[in-house]
Chains A and B, each alone.
Chain A
């Protein structure tokens, strides 16, 4: 296991389309996080799973956003009816005890 894996690395979509991102955490990590990062800014928390349970959601996570982590393994983040303001880097991280380990992110561009 080489770390947190995210797919795709880049996604260009037209406004109004739905997109889904996948995150594969480090295998023994029970905690999984999604963050959004715009250029030059710090990551903003979106949601957090402990095993398969979604324990916390940010107010940033509008009704158009949904995340799942079936069976406590990989996770998906779906954005419905994308808007230009959704353009950002979406980061996934996993954790076992203290620190989080991040994937390389999925860069979303909405045109």
Chain B
């Protein structure tokens, strides 16, 4: 079974600085999708960024970028120019193609210090 691990239960970053959240996963599949979701205190999960495993290029969305290392099964999220609104729980998630369920990691709580 696929598993997702986030080894940092909590992280903090100064406003305007850069922070990297770690994620590793275990799978025997070669084709899959990886995601980072954000869950602010209001608790609605919001997609931050998506990476397709067949793409070598790392995904980028504005201040958010990933470092996808397929051989190492590593998928880290870098947040640049951190803002107070970035404070939230961040979950790494994995999914195989064809609609199978999403497997989530335990999450990293990010605090942004003014």
Contact = CB atoms under 8 A, between A and B. Distances in A.
A41 interface: yes
B102 A33 contact: yes
Nearest to A46: B101
A56 B37 CA distance: 22
A85 interface: no
A42 B91 contact: yes
Contacts of A105: 43-44
B78 to A, nearest CB: 19
Interface string A16-45: 000000000000000101010000111111
Contacts of A66: none
A111 interface: no
B101 A56 contact: yes
Interface string B36-55: 01000011111100101000
Contacts of B43: 89, 104-105
Nearest to A4: B44
Interface string B90-114: 0100010001111111110100000
Interface residues of B, number: 24
Given A41-B106, A42-B107, A104 B101 contact: no
Contacts of A91: 45
B102 A100 contact: yes
Contact of B45 (A50, A95, A102): A102
A86 to B, nearest CB: 18
Interface in B4-36: 4, 33, 35
13 contacts: A35-B104, A40-B109, A41-B106, A42-B91, A48-B99, A48-B101, A93-B45, A98-B33, A99-B35, A102-B45, A104-B42, A104-B43, A105-B44
Interface of B: 4, 33, 35, 37, 42-47, 50, 52, 91, 95, 99-107, 109
In order of increasing CB-CB distance, the 7 nearest A-B pairs are A42-B104, A102-B45, A45-B101, A104-B44, A99-B47, A42-B106, A31-B99
